[in-house]
Chain A
């Protein structure tokens, strides 16, 4: 099945309304994935990005073509923000041949280098050094492109995180370390997994700026990412951004998260909804009427349904696929 490139609406344009639409696209896709998973159409688990949309969409709005990002085990936001086609992303998460990785990666390893999307990662912290290497490679190639490493508060306790920050700092690499600090490493509260509240403080240990950011407000995210990207592009080195946010759902679909937080706490997140915050702000500025929002939401829902239809029609790969791509072919092996 051949995918005509259907980008999420307005990927390359960055008006506030368009960015709102992109956040909504991420959320609706995640919600649809939960439903598909219940229908047994997603073979593995799904880890919704819901609640954190302002970060992926806001940072991506400050990037340019050729910049690259490394994601984690909750990749839908970063993937869509990088411009991946929702149809092929969905097909990948459904294990179909039409997926970006022919259904062999799933949510933990989906990648698309043509979009600068280095990949999700099933190992917490595993993608951070890879983003550092991409930044190095982009510099060695003589470009002024930058890399972004996304990770959570839990990953900030891995050795990979510390080694990666140190290496990026000492080599002044063009990089943003974006911590999506949702306060939980799966079930373990931040106060129980590290002695600091602000992971931004860890930047100082490596000689790089660290900044606390309201990760639920896309304007704040963009305002923090913009100078960090400029600094990286200018060759002045990496920045650590500690973006405070909330994960509305559990760690994955089967985790209702009530073993480690209360329904009251979960409900409180909704007061900080990045999408509603953005919508209300645009409405107050008379830049988005209620009708226009409904139209936008309707377009996004239609995009999602087309994606579901396309992905569902994408075939399972042939059984011989199992044995393909263990090694890349070459003239020396």
Chain B
């Protein structure tokens, strides 16, 4: 078992997927000669050639449209968006063309399409390149949005995304690119299921992406105070695995959602709503800890305060664990 960074795990999985299936190919800006702005596709051009690793012009609409068309005639494209922010240039193709293709064909057409994009705050990226935009994409049935939380999950979910016959947005937390873990064999799980990473009876912490590590770390620290935190890694934020969330909420009676996206609407709000509606008659307490409801500033000292830090997460867990139930 080798230690791989998140980025290396993704890269290795691309090599495997392309070697295994001639239908898999890559389109994106700077994915070939450069190997991707963050190195994820490095070496693929040399190995698989320019027909299957395609450097595209700066044309997000055409890139996603091209992937849709190729998928409709039997290919399995993977597109890379250099930043998730740029995906929003091409929302028509993503939401009105790709996400509706299966439904609007009465189930006749499948669209095996993966769009990879990184997201996250900083470093020094400024307001236009620091969006954590998945909250806006939870309103489009037909679209699947995955967020891996570790190198192992990245490998596992990318493999599933490419195999799935639906359009999948695969979001990579930029903050995790250099994180390392052993790539163990994760227990098999459908890609749309949440994974319970840690069991606990006092509090459920629901998280996704880079917040999962922070949740686990805080849970470790709170163990010394005899607070047992259950940590759920969502893995898939659209559609949400309501059953796993509600089961846990009904058992612990307390739910804290960690969300890297700005407060208001979005994933955290939806999880809280699911708990409020679904876990009755237990009426669990549900709280959310999110990014600030602001854009992300360029200046590092301002950007640094956008996301809740370790202390804030720990404090929110402690406070919720001690809050009296009504």
Interface centre among A121, A170, A325 (most CB of B within 10 A): A325
Taking a contact as CB atoms under 8 Å apart, the answer to whether A129 and B142 are in contact is no
Contacts of A113 in B (CB 8 A): 72, 105, 108-109
Which of B52, B96, B106 contacts A105, CB < 8 Å?
A: B106
Taking a contact as CB atoms under 8 Å apart, the answer to whether B92 and A133 are in contact is no
Q: Does A8 contact B (CB under 8 A)?
A: no
Tally chain A residues at the interface, Cβ within 8 Å. 50
The residue in chain A whose Cβ has the minimal distance to the Cβ of B192 is A333
Taking a contact as CB atoms under 8 Å apart, the answer to whether B141 and A170 are in contact is no
Which of A100, A123, A130 contacts B68, CB < 8 Å?
A: A130
How far is it, in angstroms, between the C-alpha of A130 and the C-alpha of B105 when the chains are bound? 15
Which of B52, B63, B69, B190 contacts A333, CB < 8 Å?
A: B190
Contacts of B100 in A (CB 8 A): 109
Query: Which of B161-169, B172-180, B203-211 participates in binding chain A?
Result: B161-169
How far is it, in angstroms, between the C-alpha of A113 and the C-alpha of B74 when the chains are bound? 11
Taking a contact as CB atoms under 8 Å apart, the answer to whether A333 and B107 are in contact is no
Which of B61, B64, B73 contacts A137, CB < 8 Å?
A: B73
Q: Does B104 contact A (CB under 8 A)?
A: yes
Taking a contact as CB atoms under 8 Å apart, the answer to whether B92 and A118 are in contact is no
- Give the distance to chain A from B272, nearest Cβ to Cβ, in Å: 23
Taking a contact as CB atoms under 8 Å apart, the answer to whether A133 and B190 are in contact is no
**In chain A between 143 and 172, which residues have their CB closer than 8 angstroms to a CB of chain B?**
147, 159-160, 163-164, 166-167, 170-171
How far is it, in angstroms, between the C-alpha of A129 and the C-alpha of B65 when the chains are bound? 5
- Give the distance to chain A from B145, nearest Cβ to Cβ, in Å: 12
Taking a contact as CB atoms under 8 Å apart, the answer to whether A164 and B65 are in contact is yes
Taking a contact as CB atoms under 8 Å apart, the answer to whether A166 and B57 are in contact is yes
Taking a contact as CB atoms under 8 Å apart, the answer to whether A109 and B104 are in contact is yes
Q: Mark A300-333, 1 if CB is under 8 A from B, else 0.
A: 0000000000000000000000001111101111
Taking a contact as CB atoms under 8 Å apart, the answer to whether A328 and B65 are in contact is no
Contacts of A132 in B (CB 8 A): 62, 65-66, 69
How far is it, in angstroms, between the C-alpha of A283 and the C-alpha of B36 when the chains are bound? 62
Taking a contact as CB atoms under 8 Å apart, the answer to whether A163 and B75 are in contact is no
Q: Does B288 contact A (CB under 8 A)?
A: no
The residue in chain A whose Cβ has the minimal distance to the Cβ of B56 is A167
How far is it, in angstroms, between the C-alpha of A331 and the C-alpha of B164 when the chains are bound? 8
Q: Does B276 contact A (CB under 8 A)?
A: no
Which of A70, A109, A134, A333 contacts B70, CB < 8 Å?
A: A134
How far is it, in angstroms, between the C-alpha of A133 and the C-alpha of B76 when the chains are bound? 11
Which of A70, A122, A170 contacts B69, CB < 8 Å?
A: A70
How far is it, in angstroms, between the C-alpha of A135 and the C-alpha of B73 when the chains are bound? 9
Residues of B within 8 A of A (CB): 25, 51-52, 54, 56-57, 59, 61-75, 77, 92-93, 96-97, 100, 102-111, 141-142, 144, 160, 163-166, 190-192, 239
Top 3 closest pairs, chain A to chain B, by CB: A129-B65, A133-B69, A102-B106
17 A–B pairs (Cβ distance < 8 Å), ordered by A: A68-B73, A99-B106, A101-B106, A104-B104, A129-B64, A129-B65, A132-B66, A136-B75, A167-B56, A171-B54, A328-B110, A328-B111, A328-B165, A331-B163, A332-B190, A333-B160, A333-B164
